Structure 1
Amino acid sequence: MKPCLKPACLAIALLAALVACKRDEPGAATPPPAGADSAAAPAEGDPAAALELKDVIESNDRYIIGISYPPAVNKYPGLARAVAEYSEAARAELMQAVDGLGNDKPSAPYELSLSYQLLLETPRLVVVSADGSSYTGGAHGQPLVGRFVWLPQQDKLLTVDELLPTADGLVAVSNYAREQLHTAVSLRVEADDLPPIERAQLVKSADRMIDEGTRPDAGNFGQFQPQLGVDGKIRALRFVFPPYQVGPYSDGTQTVDVPASVLLPHVAPEYADLFARG
């Protein structure tokens, strides 16, 4: 039998421990039953009612689901809803694969492991990350990588196409990210001290994936997280590339920090004050 995926198993073990602890606490909420939604439904007729996201753990001989949320996300109903939609989309995809098994039983349970973390919380910016994987057979799971940048004062998500509304902005980010990733590949290959022919082949293959994954398209740069300076202003945006986008699975998730000086000439005027100048 295929050994359990390490990230997924770790997430399930942690969630199981969390559930056990909560059972022992006075007044602790009862964990949702298998198949329960990860978000409590809002009050009927009240579209603005807050969601309450709760950790989820489901397990049987066909699939395992483990999802964990930071409690702070529930303070922002719109952000909580966006996070819940991401989780439900991942869960729906997994369950579609499970349903496709029919009456068969997989050699190893299908798995969804998803962990959210609160990366940043200020009066103007709240950032939540989603990282995990979905396993439906094969050598390894499909990576899940998401970033949510919430603007509390505007009560909305900040997307890259709103932040950089012109084609020139995406071109600037694309050029900068591509250069950084190409340089990183060259340095890594040089450090491996490979024969010249093998080195050239590796660089050519890597460069092809980088060029494809950094084309100036909003879809390629949709996952980002602000990096703040001591003044609370954005000094850079860290663009996040999941495995397969700009490199093989073995390279893992890769990131490039694009400085404010590159971004500011292209940032929409209503968001320019978020960024550091000079």
Structure 2
Amino acid sequence: MKRVIAVSLLALALAACKKEASPQPGVAPADPASTLPPPVVVADAPIELKEVVETTPNYVVGITYDTQAAKYPGLAKELKTYADQARAELIESANGRTAKENPSPYELSLTFNDILDTPDLVAVSADGSSYTGGAHAAPLIARFVWLPKQNKQLKAAELVPQKQGWDAISRYVREQLHSALSQRIDADDLAPAVRAEQIETGGRMIDDGTSADPANFAMFEPVKAADGKLSGLKFVFAPYEVGPYSDGTQTVEVPASALLPHLAPQYRAMFSGGG
């Protein structure tokens, strides 16, 4: 008898639960999602850009942050990631070699400097070298262009989204680099045959390094005009990209007038003549 009463009470309880869960006529059921708390937007944590000085028998590291980028945590994170990766690669190479391979310590030198710092656009340069044996050090060159209001890095492919834009930029940059190559070779007063060979070899490196691919133009610096806008962009090419190591880092400034027809609409107003 007690078991029957218990079963009956359980049935009544279940029926009551179903009744409470059933929506009332004319009343829409509650949306479970509406009861969830709003999403929490987590800001980038502050990044401390501290000078790094390490001297060991195996390697020497010097990293300097001569920049105000720490006030932009997202940008600071990009800079520190670049520096940390370069340091880690050097230490890995240093620890993996033997004294017979190279008795001298490996060396890394890297400096970050501000190029531009405005409410709308920030640019930082990274320049240095990493020596892990061989005839000379490998260059460490990077450029970081940051949009503070969007909290993101401005990439070349986003700035100029269409291939015809890179075709035009490629032609302009090639013309400038070929002209500079001719001037350098003419200054050496070489024999005609040697001059012709160097022109051909150098020209081929220029053409290979400036094909109409945004990856070839990933490093650029905004150039500020007198009106506070940008008068153009300076594209930066590390050694070996458009010439031999002896030619060093090369740059070509492309004026705003040549860039404007090809810029994404949302970035044109940043340039002189762009509205």
1:14 aligns with: none
Structure 1 unmatched runs, 5+: 1-45
Give distance in 1, aligned partners of 2:92 and 2:43.
28
Q: Give every structure 1 segment of 4 or more consecutive aligned residues whose post-TM-superposition deviation is greater than 6 Å.
A: none
1:76 to 69, 72, 89: 72
Root-mean-square deviation over aligned CA pairs: 1.5
Structure 2 unmatched runs, 5+: 1-41
1:163-242 aligned within 5 A: 163-242=159-238
Contact 1:228/1:234, CA 8 A, preserved across alignment: yes
The percent of aligned pairs where both chains have the same amino acid is 53
Q: What is the letter of the counterpart of residue 230 of structure 2? A: I
2:271 to 262, 267, 275: 275
Q: What is the letter of the counterpart of residue 116 of structure 1? A: F
1:99 aligns with 2:89: no
TM-score (norm 1): 0.80
Stretch deviating more after TM superposition (127-136 or 165-174): 165-174
Give distance in 2, aligned partners of 1:49 and 1:226.
27
Change (3 A) 1:126 1:218: same
Give distance in 2, aligned partners of 1:105 and 1:225.
39
Contact 1:62/1:105, CA 8 A, preserved across alignment: no
Q: What is the letter of the counterpart of residue 56 of structure 2? A: N
2:117 to 118, 121, 133: 121
Q: Rg: which structure is higher? A: 2
Give distance in 2, aligned partners of 1:76 and 1:236.
24
Q: What is the letter of the counterpart of residue 192 of structure 1? A: D
Aligned length: 233
Change (3 A) 1:71 1:202: closer
1:245-256 aligned within 5 A: 245-256=241-252
Q: What is the letter of the counterpart of residue 242 of structure 1? A: A
Change (3 A) 1:221 1:52: same
